[in-house]
């Protein structure tokens, strides 16, 4: 017998109806993603707490809103986190974003005795995680009995910040989250704005990375 290198086999291929069903399913998933992803990435879920933790790098309009919330919600203490200032610190005299944010909160009307700055060290990546570690150390050293905080962030970054702060502080602390609206685009129609598309795309990928990274970092 001569050797055969090919043979005929039957296989199933999708019909036109199958392709239509697949496209319909894909379109449904895409629509659900478009209309729900931003609210997922920018949650507003505060807990009962006397401590407001503000990420010092947020823009000034977000700090203004934080000051308004500080007064209306009855917070006792505003803690500002942030890493080193990488541009302009020789001119401004501020070496950390925590210091910049704290000074801004004081300028906007919060009593100096109720504002605390918690700077973190320079890292090339995972800066939010490093800021959360600095906060955890400060909470341990200050021996504050309060076991809950509300984290104040901005836009799509809020979900990632909440994840990392929650993982770092552990089950001992209840961590709420308040996301200030990003004025760079309309959150209700974020897909109409280049800033909105970039923010959602970047933070979706960054959140997935942070979720995996935090699992290994926390040893779970």
Within a domain: 167: yes
* 61 contacts 103 by C-beta, under 8 angstroms: no
Cα angle: 150, vertex 98, 162; to 5 degrees: 30
Within a domain: 10: no
Res 188: pLDDT: 93
Per-residue pLDDT band at 86 (split at 50, 70, 90):
confident
Where is 97: in which H helix or E strand?
helix 97-107
Within a domain: 11: no
Res 185: pLDDT: 95
Within a domain: 191: yes
Burial (CB < 10 A; 0-12, 13-18, 19+), residue 31, is exposed
Within a domain: 30: no
Mean pLDDT of 43-52: 96
pTM summary value: 0.88
Mean pLDDT of 54-67: 96
Query: For residues 71 and 73, what is the distance between their CA atoms, to the nearest angstrom?
Result: 6
Query: For residues 53 and 164, what is the distance between their CA atoms, to the nearest angstrom?
Result: 14
Examine the pLDDT at 58 and tell me if it is beyond 70. Answer: yes
Within a domain: 33: no
Res 1: pLDDT: 64
Query: For residues 139 and 9, what is the distance between their CA atoms, to the nearest angstrom?
Result: 68
Res 140: pLDDT: 94
Per-residue pLDDT band at 69 (split at 50, 70, 90):
very high
| Residue 65 CA from chain centroid, whole number | 17
The number of domains in the chain is 1
Examine the pLDDT at 2 and tell me if it is beyond 80. Answer: no
User: What CATH number is associated with residue 192?
Assistant: 3.40.50.620
Segment 140-194, tens digit of pLDDT: 999 899 999 999 999 999 999 999 999 999 999 999 999 999 999 999 999 999 9
Examine the pLDDT at 45 and tell me if it is beyond 70. Answer: yes
Helix axes 97-107, 60-72, angle to 10 degrees: 60
Which domain, by its residues, includes 154? Answer: 44-218
Per-residue pLDDT band at 220 (split at 50, 70, 90):
very low
Within a domain: 24: no
Where is 127: in which H helix or E strand?
helix 127-142
The residue assigned the tokens 């109806």 is 17
Q: What share of the chain is helix, strand, coil (3-state, %, to 5)?
A: 55, 15, 30
């Amino acid at each position: 017998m001569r050797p055969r290198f090919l043979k005929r086999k039957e296989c199933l291929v999708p019909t036109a109806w199958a392709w239509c069903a697949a496209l319909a399913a894909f379109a449904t998933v895409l629509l659900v993603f478009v209309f729900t992803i931003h609210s997922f990435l920018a949650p507003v879920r505060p807990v009962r707490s006397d401590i407001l933790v503000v990420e010092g790098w947020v823009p000034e309009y977000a700090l203004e809103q934080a000051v308004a919330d500080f007064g209306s919600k009855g917070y006792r203490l505003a803690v500002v986190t942030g890493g080193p200032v990488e541009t302009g610190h020789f001119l401004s005299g501020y070496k950390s974003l925590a210091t910049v944010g704290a000074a801004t909160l004081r300028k906007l009307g919060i009593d100096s005795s109720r504002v605390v700055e918690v700077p973190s060290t320079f890292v090339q990546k995972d800066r939010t995680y490093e800021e959360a570690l600095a906060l955890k150390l400060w909470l341990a050293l200050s021996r504050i009995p309060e076991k809950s905080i509300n984290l104040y962030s901005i836009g799509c970054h809020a979900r990632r910040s909440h994840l990392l702060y929650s993982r770092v502080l552990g089950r001992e602390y209840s961590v709420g989250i308040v996301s200030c609206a990003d004025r760079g685009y309309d959150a209700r129609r974020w897909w109409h704005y280049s800033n909105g598309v970039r923010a959602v795309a970047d933070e979706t990928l960054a959140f997935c990375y942070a979720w995996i990274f935090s699992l290994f970092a926390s040893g779970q």
